[in-house]
Amino acid sequence: MNRERQLKVLQAIVEDYVHSREPVGSKALIERHNMKVSSATVRNDMASLENEGVITAPHASAGRIPTNKGYRLFVDQIAAVRPLSTAQKDAIERFLDSADDVDQMMDRTVRLLSQLTHQVAVAQYPIISEPLVRHIDLVPLGAHQLLLIVVLSNAEVLQKQLKQVNISDADIPVLCRTVRASVLEKDSAVTPSVSHRLRAAYDTVMSAVEQLMRHHQVSRLAIAGTSYLVESTDDFSHSIAPILDALEEQVVVLRLLDELQQDQRGFLVRIGSENEKELLNDTAVVASGYGQENVSKLGIVGPTRMDYSANLAAVRAVAKYLSRLM
């Protein structure tokens, strides 16, 4: 059993089906992809792939089409993202460089990415004016343990359990007042004046406050290209209305992007039921991180029948250029 040849057959089926939306037969594979084997060999490879569940026959006498499992195997075989052409790179640079502010730049980013991929493009980006800290409290939880509570100006409450804090119960109110003066009143004289007795506990709490605020990043969502979904209705097994509803729920999309973790190749792909949100189980999501530590995400949402290689290249290229600008 020649696994390498089978994977080439799968690749050819995916590429032909993405291009034509027509089932692919063994004869067409040999003619279009110059496979130097017999039709019987290709049919045997296709039979093995079908038994594996990566291709299927939509009709008894038809050729084969990829399943979601097949798309996943195809994507997993992509060793590296192919670069965009010089013209495409120049277009990205010209289009994004002329933006006047962050909102305009992100709006242009999703419109450009949508035009490059012919898919819905989404981008998560931080809001510059983050909520302020309105209140801080420290609650003793037992021996050397504290619960840090941070209340933001938008009424959101952040919490973090602190362990191994060397402080007595009697000193906790003093520590709490000191931290409040430093954070809420922004009194720069507080930190140098903290007593030696409270120094370690103070540093621990202040570090925790900074960590909470750093990880709590209020994000906005830019989206473009929903019309491409309408043009691809034949690629969905059900109505696209639930997908459009999910995209309109910005909280859903922001949570989806937050949860995505890119692999060592620098991108993330979720296909079909790999999407935890049931409304998106008929779609594929291709995304990449950008900015500092790749915390923010941008990507595309479309049917599972998409040009993964080209779309991965577009998403990565736009993400890399955006990282240089942000």
Same domain flag for 302 and 246? yes
CB 262 within 8 A of CB 268: yes
The domain total for the chain is: 3
CATH number at residue 54: 1.10.10.10
Same domain flag for 95 and 194? no
Same domain flag for 140 and 204? yes
Residue 280's pLDDT is 87
pLDDT digits (tens, 9 = 90+) for 252-263: 787 778 777 767
pLDDT, block means (10 residues), the chain with 326 residues: 89 94 90 86 93 91 90 88 79 80 89 95 78 88 89 86 89 92 85 87 91 73 92 88 85 77 79 87 92 84 94 92 82
Domain that holds residue 242: 86-128+218-325
Residue 303's pLDDT is 95
Residue 202's pLDDT is 92
Same domain flag for 63 and 189? no
DSSP characters over 31-85: HHHT--S-HHHHHHHHHHHHHHTSEE-SSTTS-BEE-HHHHHHHHHT--SPPPPP
Shortest CA distance to 29 belongs to which of 44, 40, 20, 16? 16
Same domain flag for 222 and 210? no
